[in-house]
Structure 1
Amino acid sequence: MIKGLDHIVLFCKDTEKSKEWYTNAGFQYSHGYEGMHWFHLGSGLVMLHPAGETSPGITEVHAAVENVNKLFQFVTENGLTPIDHQNGNKTLTEPVTRPWGDIQFELEDLDGHRWAFTQRGE
């Protein structure tokens, strides 16, 4: 039956600019074909697909990370702005610890897709 996630498709107005954004966010590039780009996400992939219009809605994808502080530093050094959507998209200077113990920060890509990078609390 179902054995796991193959890939998530995100529709993007400019997949070349989005490819750069995802690289700056720390995603590892897998491959590309005719304007489509795939990045590794655990055992699955994220696919950037060209689209004239985008409508991300309120979807937020949570990616598990081993060291949230190291990734936070990496994305800020690459010019991205971590936010906290639970506090009105407030710009963060460090990851936040949620009441349930997870440590995380969020990023919003060029098409409004929201990502939370989460390290499980102990």
Structure 2
Amino acid sequence: MTSATANVPAQDSGIASASVNSAQQVGGSIGSAAFNTVAASAAAAFHGGTRAAAVHGFTTAIWVPLAALVLAAAATAVLAGPGSSRPTRPGTRTNWGSRHPRPGTTPDRDPHRVRVGARPQGPTA
């Protein structure tokens, strides 16, 4: 979701998120129907008992989506490449692993960072 909406202007972020969600829902429905068709076709083409045909259909329906997943992962790795999902809007994190999300802050100057095990500062009762 973050990669799909990273470079969208703030005023359009809601519709972009809704579009991605809708695409995921439709894709899941189409994928489920396609793999059900693969299972039914493989079971119908199998020459053997009914139970063996069902097992063959389900086995085929597992391997076909697995192959599609591997191909999609390879295509994503080639097309997206490293660093292509970095946000460019001001005020967003540009280094996903950064410990200092806001420019100009360090751990000791960051007012939003809580140090574990630190003693409270100021007057004590």
Is TM > 0.5 for Structure 1 vs Structure 2?
no
Which has a greater percent of helix? 2
Query: Which structure has the larger Rg over C-alpha atoms?
Result: 2
Per the normalisation by structure 1, the TM-score is: 0.19
Per the normalisation by structure 2, the TM-score is: 0.18
Name which structure has the greater RCO, CA cutoff 8 Å, separation 6+. Answer: 1
Which has a greater percent of strand? 1
